[in-house]
Amino acid sequence: MLGLESLTVRYGDRPVVHAVDLEVGAGETVCVLGPSGSGKSTLLRAVAGLAPPDGGRVLLGGRDQAGVPPHRRGVGLMFQDHQLFPQHDVAANVGFGLRVRGTGREERAARVARLLEMVGLAGAERRSIAALSGGEQQRVALARALAPGPRLLMLDEPLGQLDRGLRERLVVELRSLFRSLGTTVLAVTHDQGEAFALADRVVVMREGRVEQAGSPVEVWSRPASEFVARFLGFSNVVPATVSDGAAHCAWGRVELVEPAPHGPVGLLVRPGGVRLVGGGPAGPSPGDGDDSPAPLRSTAAAESVADVSGTGLRCEVRGRTFRGDHVVLHLDPERGPALEATCSLRAAPAEGAVVRVCIDPEEIVLLPSSS
């Protein structure tokens, strides 16, 4: 449906979108994710014909769009501020694109009614825009973007203005709406939760380039770089060296479950992989008096020996953040940088407590070395 071939857009000398290759298949929802200023909106504008490319091509349905004006591209664009016409009622807003195309009054009214029903606003035709909530305005904007039946629907921070509860509900609704309509969607957002809930495929951008593309599960479970890992909110990332079937890092030795080439890497430890293996007094650690860091064994092994030999990494609990059904522990280890761990509400130790943790080798990801 959509193909970008080495697409480049510059503002002045600066490439804001840099040699981006991307394909979006019919019926697919792709979310472009990235920090502010990474070029996401510019990418959408280039596809819509609102930002001329300085290099590469935009293909829609296999046809090069060079020279095709925005209104002939058959794409719908919905911006984060909705850009509704406040002086017109809901029906006039939703039917706008149809009127511009010369669709007759009766057909227009029927389509508007159907679209409003689809977005959960049946019968809202005569309501004024000003009297709608943010979420309702978002639905009107969506109905308006869908009205002309675009072959590609593009959403720029579609839920950006809405509060969290509403966003979470609308993401689910949008996903099932797009599924049932078979709409092809290219959305951009800086909110990873939104992207992961909405998308069949996620594209992470960094400074105008694609840093990683894949299914939400792939990107989440195997971030391709430290940048992606940190952008997704993982903070347990340290430089490490692989040798003898283990990664050696500031926290100690972490066994690898899969073979990896020897040499420098980045080591990501998911917070769920930092396992508490018991608290107890802050006695001497096994590494004391010995330069070699103690091994951080697999959970099963560590649990069986932790209380006896004290194997594991001794940490002080610096803080706790409640996250509904679990707690994030902010740990200050005896060696190495701060660690984040997750645990159940019931198991969460108090602030100031000294605990021992082990790293579950199943919950680590080796990243390319960033040094």
Structure-token pair, residue 69 = 């004006």
**Segment near ligand ATP (CB under 6 A); pick from 29-37, 175-183, 251-259, 312-320:** 29-37
CA within 13 Å, CB half, 172: 5
Residue 36 near ligand ATP by CB under 6 A: yes
Q: Which of residues 166-205 bind ligand ATP (CB under 6 A)?
A: 190
Smaller CB distance to ligand ATP: residue 38 or 184?
38
Residue 52 near ligand ATP by CB under 6 A: no
Residue 18 near ligand ATP by CB under 6 A: no
**81-96 exposure pattern, b = at least 16 Cβ within 10 A, e = fewer:** ebebeeeebbbbbbbb
Q: How is 285-319 classified by DSSP, letter by letter?
A: -TTTT-SSPPEE--HHHHHHHHHHH--SEEEEEEE
Smaller CB distance to ligand ATP: residue 189 or 299?
189
How far are the Cα atoms of 77, 91, 128, 162 from residue 99, in angstroms, in the given order?
17, 11, 19, 29
Task: Report in angstroms how near the CB of residue 33 gets to ligand ATP at its nearest.
Answer: 10
Task: Report in angstroms how near the CB of residue 4 gets to ligand ATP at its nearest.
Answer: 14
**Segment near ligand ATP (CB under 6 A); pick from 36-44, 192-200, 281-289, 339-347:** 36-44
Residue 150 CB neighbours (<10 A) = 18
Among 2, 4, 7, 16, the residue binding ligand ATP under the rule CB under 6 A is 16
Among 37, 61, 70, 368, the residue binding ligand ATP under the rule CB under 6 A is 37
Residue 210 near ligand ATP by CB under 6 A: no
Q: Which of residues 85-144 bind ligand ATP (CB under 6 A)?
A: none
Smaller CB distance to ligand ATP: residue 13 or 291?
13
How far are the Cα atoms of 239, 255, 311, 327, 349 from residue 272, in angstroms, in the given order?
20, 16, 19, 11, 15
| Helix 134-146 and helix 164-181, axial crossing angle in degrees, nearest 10 | 20
Q: Which of residues 271-330 bind ligand ATP (CB under 6 A)?
A: none
> Which residues here bind ligand ATP, judged by CB under 6 A?
11, 16, 34, 36-42, 190
